[in-house]
Amino acid sequence: MRISTVFLIPVIAVMLNGCTSEPAFQAVDIAVEEEAIRAISAQWFELARQKDAESIANLFADDGRLVWPGQDPIEGRAAVREFMANNFAASPMQSLDWSTERVVIAASGDLAVEYGAYSDENLGLDGTEEDRGSYVTVYRKVNGTWRIAADASASALAQ
């Protein structure tokens, strides 16, 4: 039995039309997303000044990572919390500063990268150490909320 081409052509056209229609696309407001990333960075900065390891850890994705000079990578909120608490205890006089130099938002609106510089003074128990360098923080949206996926820094001082 042969199918009539008169019948088949409209069926194929309908099928192809369904396959080629554009998926629903929601425009991303890059400026709004950049401001959101800058706000999280500012929040992290304030939490660091308050030495609030718990709240800092909550900014991270469940599998978020810290990659800092002289440390093995720290992965997961619980590990970040513990590391930050130990870091604050080891440098009770710490004076930290950082500045965001640039934020890049993916066109999809679910991934962002922050570039910046940091300085860290009064480190160590006696407050005589210092560090400075640059950092890169990667953010991703998890259930519509920006979370830190990875934070990596590189010291500019000789080790």
* Interior/surface letters 3-31, b for 16+ CB within 10 angstroms, e for the rest: eeeeeeeeeeeeeeeeeeeeeeeeeeeee
CA dihedral sign, ordered 56, 59, 62, 63:
negative
- Least Cα distance to 43 among 35, 95, 113, 121 occurs for 35
**pLDDT tens track, the chain, 159 positions:** 444 444 445 544 444 455 544 555 578 899 999 999 999 999 999 999 999 999 999 999 999 999 998 889 999 999 999 999 999 998 888 788 899 999 999 999 999 999 999 988 666 677 677 888 899 999 999 999 999 999 999 988 866
What is the C-alpha separation between 77 and 110, in angstroms, rounded?
Answer: 20
**Residue 4 falls inside a structural domain:** no
pLDDT at residue 31, as a whole number: 94
pLDDT at residue 1, as a whole number: 45
What is the C-alpha separation between 127 and 89, in angstroms, rounded?
Answer: 12
pLDDT at residue 15, as a whole number: 47
Q: What is the CATH number of the domain that holds 64?
A: 3.10.450.50
Element (H, E) at 79: helix 77-90
What is the C-alpha separation between 133 and 136, in angstroms, rounded?
Answer: 11
pLDDT at residue 70, as a whole number: 86
pLDDT at residue 96, as a whole number: 86
Domain that holds residue 146: 26-155
**Residue 1 falls inside a structural domain:** no
**Residue 145 falls inside a structural domain:** yes
pLDDT at residue 94, as a whole number: 77
pLDDT digits (tens, 9 = 90+) for 116-127: 999 886 666 776
**Residue 42 falls inside a structural domain:** yes
**Residue 135 falls inside a structural domain:** yes
pLDDT at residue 17, as a whole number: 53
Quote the number of domains for the chain. Answer: 1
pLDDT at residue 11, as a whole number: 44
pLDDT at residue 119, as a whole number: 84
**Residue 19 falls inside a structural domain:** no
**Residue 18 falls inside a structural domain:** no
**Residue 43 falls inside a structural domain:** yes
